[in-house]
Amino acid sequence: MQADPHSEATDGLAILPSPLLLIQHPLLTRYGVELWCKRDDLIHPAISGNKWRKLKYHLHYAREHGKHHLLSFGGAYSNHIHALAAAGRQSGLRTTGIIRGEVDAVSNSTLRDARRWGMDLVFVDRQSYRRRQDPDWLAQFEAPDTLIVPEGGSSPLAIPGVAELVDELPFSPDLWVLPCASGGTLAGLVAGKREREQILAIAVLKGGGFIADEVRRLYPAAATRLGWRIALDHHDGGYARFSPALWQWVQDFSAETGLPLEPIYSGKAMWGLFRELEAGRVAPGSRIVFIHTGGMQGLAGLREQRRF
């Protein structure tokens, strides 16, 4: 019997449920909270974190609808492009990445991996890239066997894959914490969470006021579901920016707890959580689950750019 390539892509190498680890840190005792980390970064060596969860039902959809080609969008260091290339390779699907920027970026480690895994890369200037949600511009990429996956994998198809995460926990936390950018992961968690559970999403970019609208667009029931908020003031300068102080904090935290973090998503969100704790915006006694959304491949790109 032939193996099902899609279940291989989503289940074959995957570690599920992802591990749940208790984090020990003196400040947590001071703030009187319990912190667990849902290690989604360990789900899969290449399709890690929220990528695995967001892509799962895109791959199912592709299989069910005869789509043999996945096409998506991202920056030159995109975790999503990296994961999509890996998922396509494992599933036997052709992949194309529409990349914002210059062809020179092709030498970076993210895009080298994507190429090695068979992804076709198409570079577009910033002005064109801005039209990535414009149906008139997208028409040039449409084909009967092509599934166009929005940037970051954030489409309504991302919702059920993320929502499933909630049932992997052996207890119901008081508070979920996660980074957010395009909003797909948050939307999935809003869909999956139990009524009593709260969510604190840390926006990793500046001007993240639009994210709540995105969450409601991706998952309309979020408009009436209570218990989620987005903290907009922990971006530390903007998307993919971070101060030396933040990076030092992240490294110290990792050394103290043994939890690997990077400064763009997971590290910034953890830093944001501790700022929220310090500001007294998290109730003492809370049992918190922090979702490690992966993205550790991005560290290689930061190193290449001599960002640290």
**Residue ranges that bind ligand PLP, judged by CB under 6 A:** 49-50, 79-80, 152, 154, 179-186, 265, 293-295
Please say which residue, 272 or 294, places its beta carbon nearer to ligand PLP.
294
Please say which residue, 92 or 207, places its beta carbon nearer to ligand PLP.
207
Q: How far is the CB of 292 from ligand PLP (least distance, A)?
A: 9
Please say which residue, 31 or 236, places its beta carbon nearer to ligand PLP.
236
Q: How far is the CB of 14 from ligand PLP (least distance, A)?
A: 16
Chain Cα centroid distance, residue 204? 11
Please say which residue, 90 or 154, places its beta carbon nearer to ligand PLP.
154
Please say which residue, 93 or 291, places its beta carbon nearer to ligand PLP.
291
State the CB neighbour count (10 A cutoff) for residue 306: 6
The rounded distance, in Å, linking the Cα atoms of 274 and 259 is 15
Element (DSSP H or E) covering residue 176: strand 175-180
The rounded distance, in Å, linking the Cα atoms of 189 and 166 is 7
Residue with tokens 């139990």: 194
Please say which residue, 151 or 276, places its beta carbon nearer to ligand PLP.
151
Please say which residue, 152 or 173, places its beta carbon nearer to ligand PLP.
152
Q: How far is the CB of 139 from ligand PLP (least distance, A)?
A: 25
Answer whether 233's CB lies under 8 Å from 241's CB: no
Q: How far is the CB of 109 from ligand PLP (least distance, A)?
A: 15
Please say which residue, 184 or 192, places its beta carbon nearer to ligand PLP.
184
C-alpha distances (whole Å) from 66 to each of 6, 81, 93, 146 are 12, 21, 11, 9
Element (DSSP H or E) covering residue 51: helix 50-64
Could you give the count of Cα atoms lying within 13 Å of 98 in the half-sphere of its Cβ?
22
Q: How far is the CB of 230 from ligand PLP (least distance, A)?
A: 10
Enumerate residues 6+ apart whose C-beta is below 8 A from 132: 73, 98, 138, 150, 151
**Kindly report the CA angle at 105 between 101 and 111, in degrees rounded to 5?**
105
Please say which residue, 186 or 212, places its beta carbon nearer to ligand PLP.
186
Show the DSSP H helices in 96-231 as ranges: 109-116, 126-129, 135-138, 158-163, 184-192, 211-218
Phi-psi region of 267 (alpha: psi -120 to 50; beta: other; left: phi over 0): alpha
180, 276, 210, 37: CA torsion to nearest 10: 20
Per-residue burial over 17-51, b = 16 or more CB atoms within 10 Å of its CB, e = otherwise: bbeebebeeeebeebebebbbbbbbbbbebbbbbb
Q: How far is the CB of 20 from ligand PLP (least distance, A)?
A: 18
Q: How far is the CB of 159 from ligand PLP (least distance, A)?
A: 11
Q: How far is the CB of 18 from ligand PLP (least distance, A)?
A: 14
Q: How far is the CB of 180 from ligand PLP (least distance, A)?
A: 4
Which residue is nearest to ligand PLP, using beta carbons? 295
